[in-house]
């Protein structure tokens, strides 16, 4: 096995889920220094761009080890498995991803969080084709003619880091995309493949990205979008993965969103 699940920190998984669910319902923190809706670079050098039709800026890249290290140094009890030298990305659970966003929010006085499933759909270009009120469960794999790189098939060369011949060479029994080579067996450094029209890199492939939402009303599972280096599909833009919030696999990562200032509410940054 080249990936490994691990239990949520703090012991019993079920108990932890209950505790986390309580936290999940917290109201948003007040945005004291929300940036305007224009490209923005934060204190860690993370770059954000607007996602038209939403009230967020979205990081153009998945969260990098260098970004995460800053919070890990200052946070007690962080599980060190995110720093595995075998992977370029930051494999974390959604609990840990949210903790990073909370840390960054406290550090900068801005409202950082994971994108919602809806915001992720808008970012990838299918927002106008989905019911904005529907749960991810009912949107999963419903649009079958759109991928993060567009609509062409088969997957064009250089589209992203998916399960390719490099992974096949490492794991001969692993299912991979036929005749596709991106050169990375596992995670790649961010921004090695072309961005989409909004300037967002690696929405498809590399790390599957946690979103805020529960997969359905039961909320036992959270949503991940975009597929990963482990996917041979590769998945449609409408594809959703789901897993427990405390689950961590080495193809799970995240991308940060920051809430923007309301129009006319100019704030410093």
How far out from the chain centre does Cα 45 lie? 18
Report in angstroms how near the CB of residue 162 gets to Ca ion at its nearest: 6
Considering the complex, state which of residue 69 and residue 171 has its C-beta at the smaller distance from Ca ion. 171
Element (H, E) at 15: helix 13-24
Considering the complex, state which of residue 40 and residue 149 has its C-beta at the smaller distance from Ca ion. 149
How far out from the chain centre does Cα 64 lie? 11
Considering the complex, state which of residue 134 and residue 169 has its C-beta at the smaller distance from Ca ion. 169
| C-alpha angle 3-9-15 in degrees, rounded to nearest 5 | 115
Considering the complex, state which of residue 119 and residue 164 has its C-beta at the smaller distance from Ca ion. 164
Q: Which residue has the tokens 């759109």?
A: 146
- Strands 222-225 and 40-41 come out as unpaired
Considering the complex, state which of residue 161 and residue 237 has its C-beta at the smaller distance from Ca ion. 161
What is the contact surface with Ca ion in residues (CB under 5 A)?
161, 164, 182, 184, 229
The sign of the CA dihedral 75, 80, 81, 85 is positive
Rg (the chain; Cα; Å): 18
C-alpha to C-alpha distance for 234 and 212, rounded to whole angstroms: 23
Report in angstroms how near the CB of residue 257 gets to Ca ion at its nearest: 26
Considering the complex, state which of residue 182 and residue 209 has its C-beta at the smaller distance from Ca ion. 182
Report in angstroms how near the CB of residue 189 gets to Ca ion at its nearest: 12
- Among residues 259, 228, 232, the alpha carbon closest in space to that of 243 is found at 228
Report in angstroms how near the CB of residue 90 gets to Ca ion at its nearest: 17
Strands in 257-259's sheet, in edge-to-edge order, are 40-41, 47-50, 56-59, 257-259, 112-113
Q: Which residue is nearest to Ca ion (CB)?
A: 164
Report in angstroms how near the CB of residue 143 gets to Ca ion at its nearest: 24
- How far are the Cα atoms of 59, 152, 198, 263 from residue 109, in angstroms, in the given order? 17, 42, 26, 19
Report in angstroms how near the CB of residue 166 gets to Ca ion at its nearest: 5
């Amino acid at each position: 096995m080249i990936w490994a699940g691990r239990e949520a920190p703090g012991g019993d998984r079920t108990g932890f889920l209950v505790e986390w669910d309580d936290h999940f319902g917290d109201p948003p923190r007040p945005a004291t220094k929300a940036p305007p809706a224009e490209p923005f670079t934060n204190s860690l050098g993370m770059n954000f761009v607007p996602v038209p039709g939403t009230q967020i800026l979205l990081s153009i890249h998945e969260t990098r080890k260098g970004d995460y290290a800053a919070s890990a140094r200052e946070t007690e009890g962080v599980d060190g498995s995110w720093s595995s030298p075998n992977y370029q990305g930051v494999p974390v659970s959604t609990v840990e991803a949210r903790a990073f966003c909370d840390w960054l929010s406290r550090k900068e006085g801005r409202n950082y969080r994971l994108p919602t499933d809806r915001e992720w759909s808008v970012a990838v270009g299918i927002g106008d084709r989905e019911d904005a009120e529907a749960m991810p469960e009912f949107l999963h794999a419903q649009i079958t003619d759109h991928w993060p790189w567009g609509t062409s098939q088969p997957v064009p060369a250089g589209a992203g880091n998916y399960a390719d011949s490099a992974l096949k060479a490492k794991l001969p029994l692993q299912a991979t995309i036929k005749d596709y080579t991106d050169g990375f067996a596992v995670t790649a450094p961010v921004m090695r493949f072309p961005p989409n029209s909004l300037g967002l890199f690696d929405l498809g492939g590399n790390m599957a990205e946690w979103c805020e939402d529960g997969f359905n009303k039961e909320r036992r599972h959270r949503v991940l979008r975009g597929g990963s280096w482990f996917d041979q599909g590769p998945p449609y833009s409408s594809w959703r993965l789901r897993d427990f919030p405390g689950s961590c696999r080495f193809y799970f990562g995240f991308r940060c969103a920051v809430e923007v200032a309301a129009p006319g509410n100019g704030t410093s940054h």
